[in-house]
Structure 1
Amino acid sequence: MKLRIILLAGGASPEREISLRSGKAIYQALIELGHQVKLIDPALGKNQTENVEEFFNPHLNKEIVSTKNYLDSFQLDEFSNVDLVFIALHGKWGEDGTVQSILDLMNVKYTGSGVLASSIGIDKNISKVIVKHFDIKTPKWKLLSKNDKQELINIIDEVGLPCIFKPNDQGSTIGFSLIHSLNEIDKAFDEALKYSDYVLVEKFVKGRELTVSILGNEALPIIEVKPKHELYDYECKYTKGMTQYICPAELDSETTELIQRQALIAFNACKCEVFGRVDFILDETNTPYFLEINTIPGMTDLSLVPMAARAIGISFNELINRIVELSLK
């Protein structure tokens, strides 16, 4: 069935470039599936470009990118006659429930999780609180505000070294720092605060980085991520050759089933819908620890959800088609 679809990509978050890369892949798939697609970048407001190549160029229109333009973009005529909005926005003002709440008020259907799940998923602290309630292990952590700098030494004593500093509500490891000594904490704290008013300080668990993609009610094959850096950071995520991916991960059946089951519990406990990704670390005793949940995971050529789908014979176009179908139910 041919649908009228608005594809939202770009946005004003620090993950704008990744959103445009995801959007470009999704756009191509939607066109090949026969849908009528309108591209809208909410950060451009009424200054939308009709040129597809220009739309996906992250170096254009930088001077007008702003959250102040969002409401103008949702007043465009295209929203009055649309079957579905496909959200390819990452990070704040797209993956956090903001856009979802506007679309709910407009009574417009959209892909993925709703307002509540989106706001939970972007909030690393809250999502950890929820999964811990369901007896899923997660590394020890503390949440700090920008006014808590004087408490850093006490927090480190409680969490332990090494530990990770990260913005509480950002993705793509933006603002992340892995620290091993006390003389690094001030810099790490300040770096995280560039992207959020709250900083999550989390115990670093040494082990195997694993991720579970969810499609509908199904956990897809687990992927093991082996970055060249000590941490699966921004460069390793989005630079070819910087990370080795093993799919399906080489795990015994019992461990595989445990992690997939915990991923589904976390996904459902956080009220997520349609698709997403749940990240774990498997420590040296074979114990999985929940790290975070992603309600709009990347859809670039290096992204993990498409990789997991391919492992069971689901092409990228079929993956996008299933997301569309599940979102319309």
Structure 2
Amino acid sequence: MNLVIFAGGTSSERDVSLASSAAVYKAMTDAGHSITMIDTASGEFITPETLAQVGTAPPDRIALKKASEKQLAVYSQLIGSDIVKKADAIFLGLHGGIGENGKLQSLLDLANIRYTGSGVLASALAMNKVMSKRVFGSIGVPTPQYLFFKRNESHTKIASRIESDFSFPLIIKPNEEGSTVGLSLVKDRPELTAAIGKAAQYSDILVEEYIEGRELTVAVVGDQALPVIEIIPQSGFYDYEHKYTKGKTQYVCPADIPANVAEDAKRFAKQAFDGINCRGYARIDFRLSLENKLYCLEVNTLPGMTATSLVPKAAKAVGIEFDQLIEKIIQLASAET
């Protein structure tokens, strides 16, 4: 097949996107496909050899903001180019921002170009955590209690409302970011103002009940929910550094949890996948309370494909190697778009 990988982009998850795309490039090249990889921040052709590894912190926010001002124009030029028009499919190796929030998907749909992952509606809903939580509530998928605030609201008023409605610890995070970028685990009142400001740098603000317990995730590929993975970070907090630094986090697959809890997690994952209207593949994240109650946190419509990523780990647990997983994702794009 003649495939084009869209990589990089200008979101805070740019480095992760480049790492995912490099892994996909290698797998598909080894499988004999004709692959072109494009950094969508600039429109330039790239190869894995030109890319650095994911760092322990997100890229500089100011530099990304400047580059993002031209992002839609770059995408429009790419979609109109012969190399994209003649491709059998576009593999979206992007994470976050325009590449995952439905805007790029709408451009590709208008041009009748096949691409991997979910369509416009699911991408937009999943990126907006409050909207996805509302969907979860309507379809019976449990999710932590939450509050939503616009980023330009008074931080003093936000803090006051949080204190009246929640007890510590709690979670504050941007409503439209991934990879725990801008997220804070707030343990007491003195940490509140800084956490609100940190989240507001990126988008509107989501405040969430902290569920003491365990971190779980379930990948869905096609119509199959894969085995549950438990995520055990060294520090007890699964932040950006622990996600993308080898050795910082232990992954157990299948998770050592009661069989009925595992089945519930897979059932809720599939409900969330279908409720958001996902297609192809996605990853659904959960917290498991000390009482073994599940809480759905979010749906990731373009989950990572790096050496430490979770979807490939879950696939491997059922005998699906990385190159086979990528082939399956591409086949689903061809069948569903």
Shorter chain as denominator, the TM-score bin is over 0.9
1:27/1:37 contact within 8 Å kept: yes
CA–CA distance in structure 2, aligned partners of residues 58 and 208 of structure 1: 25
Query: 1:53 Cα shift?
Result: 2.1
> 1:22-43 deviations in whole A, cap 9, x for unaligned?
0000001111121111111221
- Is 1:54 paired with 2:61? no
Other-structure match for 1:104: 109
- Is 1:129 paired with 2:134? yes
Structure 2 length as normaliser, TM-score?
0.92
Aligned amino acid, residue 36 of structure 2: K
CA–CA distance in structure 2, aligned partners of residues 304 and 100 of structure 1: 23
> 1:250-306 deviations in whole A, cap 9, x for unaligned?
112211111110110011000001111001111011100011110000000000000
Query: 1:52 Cα shift?
Result: 4.8
SS state of the match for residue 248, structure 1?
coil
Aligned amino acid, residue 240 of structure 1: K
CA–CA distance in structure 1, aligned partners of residues 75 and 197 of structure 2: 28
- In structure 2, the CA distance between the partners of 1:51 and 1:313, relative to structure 1 (3 Å rule), is closer
2:233/2:249 contact within 8 Å kept: yes
CA–CA distance in structure 2, aligned partners of residues 109 and 159 of structure 1: 45
Aligned amino acid, residue 146 of structure 2: W
CA RMSD, Structure 1 to Structure 2 (Å):
1.7
Other-structure match for 1:167: 174
Aligned amino acid, residue 138 of structure 1: T
Identical amino acids, percent of aligned pairs: 42
> 1:65-108 deviations in whole A, cap 9, x for unaligned?
44413333333321221110000100111111111111011110
Other-structure match for 1:140: 145
The alignment of Structure 1 onto Structure 2 pairs a total of residues equal to 322
The equivalent position to 1:192 in structure 2, one of 189, 199, 214, is: 199
SS state of the match for residue 11, structure 1?
coil
- Is 1:26 paired with 2:24? yes
- In structure 2, the CA distance between the partners of 1:307 and 1:205, relative to structure 1 (3 Å rule), is same
* Deviating more after overlay: 67-76 vs 280-289: 67-76
CA–CA distance in structure 1, aligned partners of residues 42 and 147 of structure 2: 36
Aligned amino acid, residue 268 of structure 2: Q
Aligned amino acid, residue 154 of structure 1: R
Other-structure match for 2:258: 252
Other-structure match for 1:35: 33
Other-structure match for 2:218: 212
2:102/2:121 contact within 8 Å kept: yes
- Is 1:277 paired with 2:283? yes
Other-structure match for 2:59: none
Other-structure match for 2:322: 316
The equivalent position to 1:85 in structure 2, one of 77, 87, 90, is: 90
SS state of the match for residue 263, structure 1?
helix
Structure 1 length as normaliser, TM-score?
0.94
CA–CA distance in structure 2, aligned partners of residues 221 and 51 of structure 1: 32
Query: 1:54 Cα shift?
Result: 2.3
* Deviating more after overlay: 72-81 vs 109-118: 72-81
SS state of the match for residue 71, structure 1?
helix
1:44/1:73 contact within 8 Å kept: no
CA–CA distance in structure 2, aligned partners of residues 138 and 71 of structure 1: 37
Aligned amino acid, residue 83 of structure 1: D
SS state of the match for residue 98, structure 2?
coil
2:78/2:84 contact within 8 Å kept: no
Other-structure match for 2:58: none
- Is 1:152 paired with 2:159? yes
Query: 1:49 Cα shift?
Result: 3.5
- In structure 2, the CA distance between the partners of 1:206 and 1:245, relative to structure 1 (3 Å rule), is same
CA–CA distance in structure 2, aligned partners of residues 306 and 58 of structure 1: 17
- Is 1:264 paired with 2:260? no
CA–CA distance in structure 1, aligned partners of residues 46 and 269 of structure 2: 40
- In structure 2, the CA distance between the partners of 1:55 and 1:227, relative to structure 1 (3 Å rule), is closer
- In structure 2, the CA distance between the partners of 1:206 and 1:51, relative to structure 1 (3 Å rule), is closer
Structure 2, unaligned runs of 5 or more: 56-62
Other-structure match for 1:241: 247
Aligned amino acid, residue 95 of structure 1: E
CA–CA distance in structure 2, aligned partners of residues 29 and 240 of structure 1: 20
